[in-house]
Amino acid sequence: MSNVIDIKVRGYHLDLFRHVNNARYLEFLEEGRWSFLESRGALELLERGHYSFVAVNININYRRAAGMGEVLQIDTSMKKIGNRSCIMHQLITLKGTDTVVADADVTFVIVDTRSEKAVVLEGDLRAAMERMMG
Protein backbone atom coordinates (compact mmCIF):
# COMPACT_ATOMS: atom_id res chain seq x y z
CA MET A 1 0.00 0.00 0.00
CA SER A 2 1.49 3.30 -1.03
CA ASN A 3 1.07 6.90 0.05
CA VAL A 4 0.93 9.75 -2.48
CA ILE A 5 1.57 13.45 -1.87
CA ASP A 6 1.73 16.43 -4.21
CA ILE A 7 4.42 19.10 -4.25
CA LYS A 8 4.16 22.16 -6.47
CA VAL A 9 7.50 23.34 -7.85
CA ARG A 10 8.20 26.86 -6.59
CA GLY A 11 10.87 29.35 -7.56
CA TYR A 12 13.02 28.52 -4.54
CA HIS A 13 13.20 24.88 -5.71
CA LEU A 14 14.99 25.92 -8.91
CA ASP A 15 18.68 26.25 -9.57
CA LEU A 16 20.64 28.51 -11.93
CA PHE A 17 19.43 26.42 -14.89
CA ARG A 18 15.75 27.03 -13.96
CA HIS A 19 14.91 23.43 -13.13
CA VAL A 20 14.67 21.57 -9.83
CA ASN A 21 18.17 21.00 -8.47
CA ASN A 22 19.14 17.37 -7.92
CA ALA A 23 19.64 17.91 -4.19
CA ARG A 24 16.12 19.32 -3.83
CA TYR A 25 14.67 15.98 -4.95
CA LEU A 26 16.12 14.45 -1.78
CA GLU A 27 13.97 16.87 0.22
CA PHE A 28 10.89 15.98 -1.85
CA LEU A 29 11.54 12.29 -1.26
CA GLU A 30 12.01 12.89 2.47
CA GLU A 31 8.67 14.69 2.62
CA GLY A 32 7.11 11.64 0.94
CA ARG A 33 8.65 9.29 3.51
CA TRP A 34 7.42 11.42 6.44
CA SER A 35 3.93 11.42 4.97
CA PHE A 36 4.08 7.65 4.45
CA LEU A 37 5.13 7.05 8.08
CA GLU A 38 2.49 9.47 9.41
CA SER A 39 -0.24 7.81 7.37
CA ARG A 40 0.64 4.41 8.88
CA GLY A 41 0.86 5.59 12.50
CA ALA A 42 4.54 4.67 12.50
CA LEU A 43 5.79 7.91 14.03
CA GLU A 44 3.92 7.17 17.27
CA LEU A 45 5.26 3.61 17.28
CA LEU A 46 8.82 4.84 16.82
CA GLU A 47 8.50 7.41 19.58
CA ARG A 48 6.92 4.97 22.05
CA GLY A 49 9.68 2.43 21.39
CA HIS A 50 12.50 5.00 21.64
CA TYR A 51 13.36 4.40 18.00
CA SER A 52 14.38 6.64 15.14
CA PHE A 53 14.17 6.12 11.41
CA VAL A 54 17.58 6.56 9.74
CA ALA A 55 18.21 6.57 5.97
CA VAL A 56 21.50 4.79 5.26
CA ASN A 57 21.46 4.66 1.44
CA ILE A 58 19.56 6.46 -1.31
CA ASN A 59 19.77 5.21 -4.87
CA ILE A 60 18.07 7.76 -7.13
CA ASN A 61 17.52 7.93 -10.88
CA TYR A 62 16.78 11.31 -12.44
CA ARG A 63 14.56 10.81 -15.49
CA ARG A 64 13.30 14.29 -16.47
CA ALA A 65 13.82 17.86 -15.32
CA ALA A 66 10.96 19.49 -13.43
CA GLY A 67 10.24 23.18 -13.79
CA MET A 68 8.42 26.09 -12.22
CA GLY A 69 4.73 25.54 -11.57
CA GLU A 70 4.67 21.81 -12.28
CA VAL A 71 2.97 19.62 -9.71
CA LEU A 72 4.91 16.52 -8.74
CA GLN A 73 3.39 13.43 -7.16
CA ILE A 74 5.59 11.48 -4.79
CA ASP A 75 4.41 7.88 -4.38
CA THR A 76 6.06 6.04 -1.48
CA SER A 77 5.77 2.34 -0.64
CA MET A 78 7.60 -0.28 1.39
CA LYS A 79 9.55 -2.53 -0.98
CA LYS A 80 11.51 -4.95 1.20
CA ILE A 81 12.01 -5.84 4.86
CA GLY A 82 15.26 -7.48 5.94
CA ASN A 83 16.66 -8.45 9.34
CA ARG A 84 18.06 -5.00 10.19
CA SER A 85 17.06 -2.79 7.26
CA CYS A 86 14.14 -2.02 4.99
CA ILE A 87 13.85 -0.50 1.54
CA MET A 88 11.22 2.04 0.51
CA HIS A 89 10.56 2.66 -3.17
CA GLN A 90 9.63 6.17 -4.23
CA LEU A 91 8.39 7.37 -7.60
CA ILE A 92 8.07 11.03 -8.62
CA THR A 93 5.77 11.71 -11.56
CA LEU A 94 4.15 14.76 -13.10
CA LYS A 95 0.66 14.91 -11.62
CA GLY A 96 -1.99 13.57 -13.95
CA THR A 97 0.50 11.84 -16.26
CA ASP A 98 2.67 8.74 -16.43
CA THR A 99 5.77 10.92 -16.92
CA VAL A 100 8.45 9.78 -14.48
CA VAL A 101 10.61 12.58 -13.13
CA ALA A 102 12.69 10.45 -10.74
CA ASP A 103 12.61 7.19 -8.85
CA ALA A 104 14.54 6.05 -5.80
CA ASP A 105 15.12 3.16 -3.46
CA VAL A 106 15.84 4.28 0.08
CA THR A 107 17.40 1.85 2.55
CA PHE A 108 16.81 2.63 6.19
CA VAL A 109 17.38 1.15 9.62
CA ILE A 110 15.55 1.61 12.89
CA VAL A 111 17.90 2.88 15.60
CA ASP A 112 17.34 2.53 19.33
CA THR A 113 17.75 6.14 20.51
CA ARG A 114 19.10 4.99 23.89
CA SER A 115 21.90 2.78 22.57
CA GLU A 116 22.25 4.57 19.20
CA LYS A 117 22.48 1.17 17.50
CA ALA A 118 20.41 -0.32 14.68
CA VAL A 119 17.95 -2.89 16.02
CA VAL A 120 16.98 -6.28 14.66
CA LEU A 121 13.52 -6.09 13.09
CA GLU A 122 11.62 -8.65 15.13
CA GLY A 123 8.47 -9.00 17.22
CA ASP A 124 6.06 -6.06 17.29
CA LEU A 125 8.47 -3.83 15.38
CA ARG A 126 8.74 -6.31 12.50
CA ALA A 127 4.96 -6.82 12.50
CA ALA A 128 4.49 -3.05 12.21
CA MET A 129 6.92 -2.90 9.27
CA GLU A 130 5.14 -5.81 7.58
CA ARG A 131 1.78 -4.03 7.92
CA MET A 132 3.29 -1.17 5.91
CA MET A 133 3.93 -3.58 3.01
CA GLY A 134 0.22 -4.24 2.52
List the catalytic residue out of 6, 15, 105, 124: 15
Rounded to 5 degrees, what angle do the CA atoms 19, 15, 71 make? 40
What CA–CA distance (Å, rounded) separates 73 from 96?
A: 9
105 in active site: no
Among 106, 53, 101, residue whose Cα is nearest residue 73: 101
Catalytic residues, by residue number, are 15
